[in-house]
């Protein structure tokens, strides 16, 4: 498990940028990232950092009420999902997460613990308040993914 201290919002954006660099290094494979942590801890900020590093110039908003925000950047489809207000399995089914697409699909799921059926993830990130800072814990079964994130984070 990789643990980082994020001193401020800039560090959270930097971690998102590091994640985007690693996703680009991994090629065109689909990626699913699960994000856990209290309200206001920076989950959407992390996604914003990832999207901005891929070249997204527009607003990135929390999908709390919409359940899902979609972003298309070149040959990639990003799905940013917030399951905080999920009421039933039908709510998640309407998102059609496993739909087929010719684009690389990168899925960020906030509040994955609200899923009745667990989904496999390539990266699990837990963000926690630590006074004015944030603690980030990153876990993955892919050791190359983990070490690449650390190296990218340190070099941004």
Domain that holds residue 80: 29-132
**47-51, 68-72, 92-96, 136-140: lowest mean pLDDT where?**
92-96
Residue 11, domain member (yes or no)? no
Residue 20, domain member (yes or no)? no
* CB neighbourhood size of 122 (10 A): 18
Residue 119, domain member (yes or no)? yes
Which pTM value belongs to this model? 0.89
- Please tell me the predicted confidence (pLDDT) of residue 87: 60
Residue 143, domain member (yes or no)? no
Residue 85, domain member (yes or no)? yes
Q: Please give the mean pLDDT across all residues of the chain.
A: 88
- Please tell me the predicted confidence (pLDDT) of residue 1: 87
CATH number, domain of 48, equals 3.40.50.300
User: Is 90 exceeded by the pLDDT of residue 146?
Assistant: no
Spatial contact of 98 and 71, defined as CB atoms under 8 Å apart = no
* CB neighbourhood size of 89 (10 A): 10
How many structural domains compose the chain?
1
Residue 140, domain member (yes or no)? no
Residue 110, domain member (yes or no)? yes
Residue 87, domain member (yes or no)? yes
User: Is 60 exceeded by the pLDDT of residue 91?
Assistant: no
């Amino acid at each position: 498990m990789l643990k980082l201290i994020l001193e401020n919002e800039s560090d959270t954006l930097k971690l998102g940028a590091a994640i985007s660099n690693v996703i680009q290094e991994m090629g065109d494979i689909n990626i699913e990232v699960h994000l856990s942590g209290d309200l206001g801890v920076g989950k959407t900020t992390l996604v914003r950092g990832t999207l901005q590093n891929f070249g997204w110039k527009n607003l990135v908003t929390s999908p709390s009420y919409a359940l899902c925000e979609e972003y298309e950047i070149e040959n990639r489809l990003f799905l940013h999902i917030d399951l905080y207000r999920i009421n039933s399995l039908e709510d998640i089914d309407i998102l059609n997460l496993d739909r087929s697409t010719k684009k690389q699909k990168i899925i960020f799921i906030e509040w994955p613990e609200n899923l009745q059926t667990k989904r496999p993830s390539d990266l699990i990130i837990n963000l926690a308040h630590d006074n004015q800072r944030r603690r980030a814990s990153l876990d993955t079964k892919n050791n190359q993914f983990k070490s690449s994130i650390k190296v990218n984070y340190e070099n941004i």
